[in-house]
Structure 1
Amino acid sequence: MSIQLPKNYIQQMKELLKDEFEAYMQSFEQERYYGLRINTNKISVEDFLKISPFQLKPIPWADNGFYYQGNQKPAKHPYYYAGLYYLQEPSAMLPAQVLPIEEGEYVLDTCAAPGGKSTELAAKLQNTGLLLSNDISTSRCQGLIKNIELSGSYNTWVCSEDLVDLSKRFKETFDKILVDAPCSGEGMFRKEPHLISSWQERDDTYYPPIQKDILSCAVDMLKPGGKIVYSTCTFSIKENEEVIQDVLQRHSDLHLVPISKMPGFASGVGMEECVRLYPHKIKGEGHFVALLQKEGDATKKICKKENISLPESFKEFLQMCSFDFSKGCFSIKNDKIIWSPQQLSEQKRWRLLRSGLICGGIKKNHFEPSQAFALALKKEEFKNTADLSVDDPRVIKYLKGETIDIKDQDTTSKGWILVCVDGYPLGFGKIDKGIIKNKYAKGWRWQ
């Protein structure tokens, strides 16, 4: 075996797995599995499979998850840039799948970066209700925001707060909460061997106090009757079952909800309701997932905010757009026009990085639409479009930020144009006489 595991870790796994230990060790000789999750916020599973350029096989525990071959490059395909799918390790798809989201709910993702689980929660909400995605690392939130915007979600807010502070602001506010807690990462040793050295520095005694505090804060923010998923990518009982036992003791109004078992799923140690995923039993890496519910009935909190007066240049731009803004409200911050269909109660002095959809900005009295706005639109919601087929070389030229010529497309339009691939928006440009000046966001461009 090329991966060298610490002796004390090997001993722990022997005690945990007993007769299955050798099968677990043999899993390190096998190649890792690669996962792709279809973004049902933009396209149905059925429709994506009709156009998919990849060889896909269903992941049993994810309705919209599929395995792909490691030699395929879905991150270098235009459909990725259109936000039609997200690349995610297969076992990591389970926590968001287990959380039973209903449209219109208020949902919190506590440790959200880089956004794999948040984008699935957003897809389940179908741009209804509100998703608050939090990560204590402001730098990591930049990748989170990009993935949220790429997904086309416009009901997602992003903040960077310590959960102790956040729990004081939003007591019993959320219908559903996901806690994908920081952990020792034992379940990812095959996929990411560098985590082994980190484990040797901290082992599985470092994280439990942090995990217990995070989960307890999350419970404080959960509405009565609400549900919460706790997940890690570690096998440690200290970081899994003992954390769950701690929160059940601290919060007498909580109880475990059984998770349906699929072939290869193992139960929690002494907790039949929980699920453990092992790489020798499933096609994926290691995970632990628990579903909890708070007793009681929730009362619905409605926060309203009045619309502001909009700049004339933005109003002119909206004449080209049939997107339905009627169910939300606008705000302006640092010359950026923001729209959100739902509101959270007014807060002061918190690191709110995104509060819905940034439509664009005002520059010298002119409105310039954002990359996020382009990805939130459907092709039919914008008056001027250039729709290129996926094998058209101009698609890659556009994604690289180059000027493209579409004189062959029989268009006489002038001004802003939405560039699409096979009917799915990529970004904006400005067209004049059949030439599109590229407005694709610099930080998003094809490398």
Structure 2
Amino acid sequence: MDKNTYIPEDFIEDVKCYLPEHLNLDDFIDHCQKPLRLSIRVNTLKMSIDEFELEAQKLGWQITPVPWCPEGFWITRSEEEQANLPIGNTALHLSGCIYVQEASSMLPPLALRSEIENIQTDHYAVLDMAAAPGSKTSQLCALMENKGLLVANEFSSSRLKVLAANMKRMGIANCALSHFDGKIFGDYMYECFDHIQLDAPCSGEGTVRKDASALKNWSIQSNVDISNVQKDLIRSAFLALKPGGSLVYSTCTLTPLENQQVCTFLLEEFAGAVEIIPLDNLFENANQATTSEGYLHVWPQIYDSEGFFIAKFKKISSVEHHNQQRKKGAFPFEPFAAKAHQAFSSYLKKQFKIKQLPGTLMQRDKELWLFPEKLEEVQNKIKYARLGIKVGSIHKNGVRLEHELATAFGHLAATNVHALSDKQATEYFQGKDVRLENPTNQTGEVILTLCGAPVGLGKWQKNKIKNNLPRDLIAQGQLITWV
């Protein structure tokens, strides 16, 4: 029990007003003061579930499946390993094969799983309106198998940098990042998205198990103020959603002010054009957390998790919107010149035997970017912070490859691939050149892998591989090995 967890009396009195009859207040308080179980999600863009299970067995990790997420596992590590090597410094994490993610936070993307799996084309667009740090964003991209387009928006500039770094590590290739107040999407991208995830900013009442001070500034007035922001966001999301599309609204809070009442606002604002999709059959025993409306209201004691709320809606008809806006200014990219395109493709074939990259190559000044194919329809609707992935820098002698090409498409390479040992991986992630056991005659760029997954680029030199890891991704401290 974490006795440092701060739970205000006013908060407890408020909870009494809406705690479901089948749940016990003492159980709720007890679970709020228990540490969370460590959980991770396997990133299937880089590693299969079977491969992860084998790797976990080798490491001596005890794993328990998260019942609602096939890619999710609770993990128990030895006290010695846990103390000496944080999971974020393990090879599985550094390689992007796993993402440390609380089990209940895996639920919102899963509410869109059936829609994504049933799409018959790769030509579709999904919006993640409040994306950072990227757990649910990368989960959606994995469900999408890096196809289609995911627009990931984040209002906070500092959190946007974290989001971008996580997308690189996880090998995301079908993502465009934007940096706006989510209220603009309904105006500038009216009925552009096939499906939308809105994991709304909230008071975080459900996160006290990982943040003992989460309720430090709690007040009903703050709940009211945040709910007003949430109503603006969910209205914007519904306007940006195509007819026939699904909208998933979620928070990591418990109060109906930020949950049920925000949903009621949506239903009243767009009466006749929206319907609830019940989530009682989303997974086995989901009915234990299902409200009378069909929402999931996950209390910490139900599944021994964080508190969470998830609602799903379908847009059954178009709605009028008289305040649509258009972005001003020219689009700063142009198609990559045909001759240079041919030379670049020839180099990829010669060096790595990569036949073709999925997407469209575009140039901005001396930067070469690969856009998801769906992007063309929405690329000039708003100004993006990043579009697709940066695959290279253009020089007079050709294209120098960038880190993201390796993390997103390194699995396509058949030659000039080097599997890092634990020792070499430690050197690589600390920004050092990778020393080779034996001299090599190979030349040019090389894709580096860890746990079978591509993690970056280097350049062959006689006795080493020159490190090309971007400076903002260089790790400090102990990595991978421990004593």
- Same fold (TM > 0.5): yes
**In 1: Cα distance, 2:107 partner to 2:337 partner:** 41
**In 2: Cα distance, 1:349 partner to 1:174 partner:** 12
- Return the match for 1:163 from 182, 192, 210: 182
Question: Residue in 1 aligned with 2:274?
Answer: 254
- Return the match for 2:301 from 270, 275, 280: 280
Corresponding position: 1:209 with 2:210: no
In the TM superposition, what is the alpha-carbon distance from 1:163 to its structure 2 partner? Answer: 2.5
**In 2: Cα distance, 1:175 partner to 1:254 partner:** 15
CA contact 2:176–2:386 (8 Å) conserved in 1: yes
Q: One-letter code of the match for 1:82?
A: S
**In 1: Cα distance, 2:158 partner to 2:337 partner:** 31
- Return the match for 2:66 from 51, 59, 62: 59
Q: Which runs of 5+ in 1 are unaligned?
A: 298-304
Question: Residue in 2 aligned with 1:35?
Answer: 39
Q: Which moved more, 1:363-372 or 1:210-219?
A: 363-372
Q: One-letter code of the match for 1:69?
A: T
Q: 1:223 to 1:264 in 2, by over 3 A?
A: closer
Corresponding position: 1:354 with 2:376: no
Q: One-letter code of the match for 1:245?
A: T
In the TM superposition, what is the alpha-carbon distance from 1:264 to its structure 2 partner? Answer: 6.8
Question: Residue in 2 aligned with 1:404?
Answer: 434
CA contact 1:161–1:351 (8 Å) conserved in 2: no
Q: One-letter code of the match for 2:313?
A: L
Question: Secondary structure of 1:280's match?
Answer: helix
CA contact 2:189–2:381 (8 Å) conserved in 1: no
CA contact 2:45–2:142 (8 Å) conserved in 1: yes
Q: Which moved more, 1:51-60 or 1:284-293?
A: 51-60
Question: Residue in 2 aligned with 1:301?
Answer: none
Q: One-letter code of the match for 2:401?
A: P
**In 1: Cα distance, 2:199 partner to 2:143 partner:** 17
1:371-420: CA deviation from partner (whole Å, max 9, x where unpaired): 2111012345152121134xx41221122111222243x74211211121
Corresponding position: 1:371 with 2:391: no
CA contact 1:378–1:425 (8 Å) conserved in 2: yes
Q: One-letter code of the match for 2:467?
A: N
- Return the match for 1:141 from 160, 164, 176: 160
**In 1: Cα distance, 2:178 partner to 2:105 partner:** 22
- Return the match for 1:9 from 8, 11, 20: 11
Q: 1:177 to 1:375 in 2, by over 3 A?
A: same
- Return the match for 2:112 from 99, 105, 108: 99
Question: Residue in 2 aligned with 1:77?
Answer: 90
1:120-170: CA deviation from partner (whole Å, max 9, x where unpaired): 000011121111101122221111111112111211111112233222222
Q: What aligned pairs does 1:376-391 form with structure 2 within 5 A after superposition?
A: 376-389=408-421
- Return the match for 1:429 from 429, 433, 458: 458
Question: Secondary structure of 1:206's match?
Answer: helix
**In 2: Cα distance, 1:418 partner to 1:326 partner:** 15
Corresponding position: 1:88 with 2:101: yes
TM-score (norm 1): 0.91
Corresponding position: 1:395 with 2:425: yes
Q: What aligned pairs does 1:95-244 form with structure 2 within 5 A after superposition?
A: 95-100=108-113, 101-102=116-117, 104=122, 105-200=124-219, 203-244=222-263
1:254-295: CA deviation from partner (whole Å, max 9, x where unpaired): 100111264375445542x11111111112110000111111
Corresponding position: 1:294 with 2:315: yes
In the TM superposition, what is the alpha-carbon distance from 1:84 to its structure 2 partner? Answer: 0.5
Q: 1:201 to 1:369 in 2, by over 3 A?
A: farther
TM-score (norm 2): 0.84
Question: Secondary structure of 1:179's match?
Answer: strand
Question: Secondary structure of 1:198's match?
Answer: coil
Question: Secondary structure of 2:29's match?
Answer: helix
Q: What aligned pairs does 1:415-426 form with structure 2 within 5 A after superposition?
A: 415-426=444-455
CA contact 2:104–2:306 (8 Å) conserved in 1: yes
In the TM superposition, what is the alpha-carbon distance from 1:423 to its structure 2 partner? Answer: 2.7
CA contact 1:266–1:276 (8 Å) conserved in 2: no
CA contact 1:359–1:373 (8 Å) conserved in 2: yes
Provide the alpha-carbon RMSD of the alignment. 2.4
**In 2: Cα distance, 1:443 partner to 1:344 partner:** 30
**In 1: Cα distance, 2:472 partner to 2:396 partner:** 23
CA contact 2:6–2:216 (8 Å) conserved in 1: no
CA contact 2:198–2:234 (8 Å) conserved in 1: yes
1:3-38: CA deviation from partner (whole Å, max 9, x where unpaired): 231221110112222551111011134221221000
1:331-353: CA deviation from partner (whole Å, max 9, x where unpaired): 11242110123124355584412
**In 2: Cα distance, 1:443 partner to 1:351 partner:** 24
CA contact 1:418–1:425 (8 Å) conserved in 2: yes
Q: One-letter code of the match for 1:255?
A: E
**In 2: Cα distance, 1:422 partner to 1:95 partner:** 28
- Return the match for 2:24 from 10, 20, 23: 20
In the TM superposition, what is the alpha-carbon distance from 1:119 to its structure 2 partner? Answer: 0.1
Q: One-letter code of the match for 2:15?
A: M
Higher relative contact order (CA 8 A, sep 6+): 2
In the TM superposition, what is the alpha-carbon distance from 1:306 to its structure 2 partner? Answer: 5.4
Q: 1:173 to 1:146 in 2, by over 3 A?
A: same
**In 2: Cα distance, 1:153 partner to 1:197 partner:** 36
CA contact 1:61–1:262 (8 Å) conserved in 2: yes
Give the count of matched residue pairs: 436
In the TM superposition, what is the alpha-carbon distance from 1:316 to its structure 2 partner? Answer: 5.8
In the TM superposition, what is the alpha-carbon distance from 1:312 to its structure 2 partner? Answer: 8.1
CA contact 1:204–1:238 (8 Å) conserved in 2: yes
CA contact 1:317–1:367 (8 Å) conserved in 2: no
CA contact 1:308–1:330 (8 Å) conserved in 2: no
